Amino acid sequence: MSKFSNKKGILCLWILLIISFPISESYSKTNLIDLIIEYNLHWKRERLKNGQYTGEEGILCVDPVVGKELGLSTFIDRDLLEGKEFMLQAKGLEDKINVLLDTKSPSDGVRAHIKKIVNAYLRYMGLKQEARKKMLRYRDSLRMAYDERKDKERCIGILKRLLRRSLNRRDNQLRDALGELFNILRGYKDQEFPLNTDNIEFVNHIIHSLKGDTLKRYHLDRVKDFNPSFHSLHALEKLREENELIPLFKKVFNSSRSIPYPVDPLLFLSLIKRESAFDPYAISPVGAAGLAQLMPETASSLGLKVYIPSYYLKAKGLLKRERRLREEVWRYLKKIRDKTHIESAKKAWQMRQDAIRLKNQRERLFKRYRRELLNNPKRDQRLDPMLCLSKGLRYFSEMMRLNRGDISLALASYNAGYGRVKKYRGIPPFEETITFRNMVLRYYREYLKRIKG
């Protein structure tokens, strides 16, 4: 037998093995499922540790009510129900404590008011501790009870089915599919968008952990995933009747041939719609201005003439101090162990009042900034529609380049800063940023439908 025949025989054997064992496909699916299970179990451990556990079990990490909705037989006892009721009461007390902390001039005097804060906090902590005891007793009873959440193989089947359904519903867009999956498992209903502050850590973790070959199987919010043909400027003509700024958009794109990364005009149009609602004189509560809502520092770095008075910088400093104070309030409340800890509660109340005063001061300064900009728009080139759009396009294009064409990360970078996207290894867990991403992509899909329709 010749060497050629031997090689031919080996080649045929390899082909047969590849056909018989589709390794890459099996691995990619298993890898994604394994990552979800791994995260779920970590999530449950963290909830047990910090006292937030509410009966979630198994690799799905669903509570017994959600488990029943998914077709599983689950165990529910009195401890679980009472534990959940205690948690609801604790949440109500948390809201009440925040109202007490926000009260500026208590009618019953400061000392009596501080005592109310102490008593409310002690009841709050007592309810949380009782709830935790109930939940741990429920877990003990669960070990001996029949509960199909313990059936790993069945739950893996359910997880695969839910993931497949979410991917189909979300056009294979992995972020939205993972967000929807998380919402289903946690029992979150009537969500306007799949992605939210509760599930963004999960979504970021899974996507960051997936390997390149596996990621290629899914859409990751790139232009080609939404718009394979990548519409050119002529697509904007179909929108001319409803938007008088379309000629300006075309002019901006025609004069910006050397931007760092290609940007679909429809995507940029969607971004501007969300940022300013096409108002050239829009000014945000924190000083972003113009059609592209550029912050003063960003606009200045892009070469625009920007009005930045000293009191604007003061307002930014007040905002940082306000945020730090608000974060410190509950740290002081946690020092309360009994009714004698009046000083800790007083310090927490004073810090909240200081934060409110800082908020009022910086709001007055930002309103002054807005008035002065509008009274003399020529002092700030962000209020020049052509210049603002041109620099906004260049900035967004740079965010697209830094994030390798990932629209969601580019939008998050535009809204919250590229540094924060790097810090969180994905979309930062800020409600404003997530809503910004969700709304821009909604507008983008709507524009695409109109163009195609």
Task: Write down the domain spans for the chain.
Answer: 47-151, 154-218, 221-305+381-453, 307-379
> In angstroms, rounded to a whole number, what is the distance separating the alpha carbons of residues 336 and 241?
63
Degrees to nearest 5, angle at CA 191 with 186 and 196: 75
Is pLDDT of 301 > 50?
yes
Is pLDDT of 409 > 80?
yes
Instruction: Supply the pLDDT for residue 24.
Output: 34
Instruction: Supply the pLDDT for residue 229.
Output: 59
The pLDDT tens digits for 352-365 are 999 999 999 999 99
CA–CA distance from 150 to each of 53, 62, 64 (Å)?
17, 11, 11
3-state SS of the chain: helix, strand, coil percent to 5?
A: 70, 0, 25
Q: Could you tell me how far CA 337 lies from the centroid of its own chain?
A: 35
The pLDDT tens digits for 275-285 are 999 999 999 99
Cβ 126 vs Cβ 50: under 8 Å? no
Instruction: Supply the pLDDT for residue 3.
Output: 42
3-state secondary structure 150-183: HCHHHHHHHHHHHHHHHHHHCCCEHHHHHHHHHH
Fold of 221-305+381-453: Lysozyme (1.10.530)
Cβ 403 vs Cβ 409: under 8 Å? yes
Question: In percent, how much of the chain has pLDDT > 90?
Answer: 82
Is pLDDT of 28 > 50?
no
What is the band of 29 on the pLDDT scale with cuts at 50, 70, 90?
very low
Is pLDDT of 105 > 50?
yes
AA letter at 24: S
Instruction: Supply the pLDDT for residue 275.
Output: 98
Instruction: Supply the pLDDT for residue 224.
Output: 76
The pLDDT tens digits for 30-58 are 489 999 999 999 999 999 999 999 999 99
> In angstroms, rounded to a whole number, what is the distance separating the alpha carbons of residues 139 and 143?
7
Q: How many CB atoms lie within 10 A of CB 250?
A: 16
144-153 mean pLDDT:
96
- Per the prediction, the chain carries an average pLDDT of 91
Degrees to nearest 5, angle at CA 145 with 144 and 148: 125
Q: How many CB atoms lie within 10 A of CB 259?
A: 17
Cβ 404 vs Cβ 226: under 8 Å? no
Beta-carbon contacts of 9 under 8 Å, excluding residues fewer than 6 positions away, are none
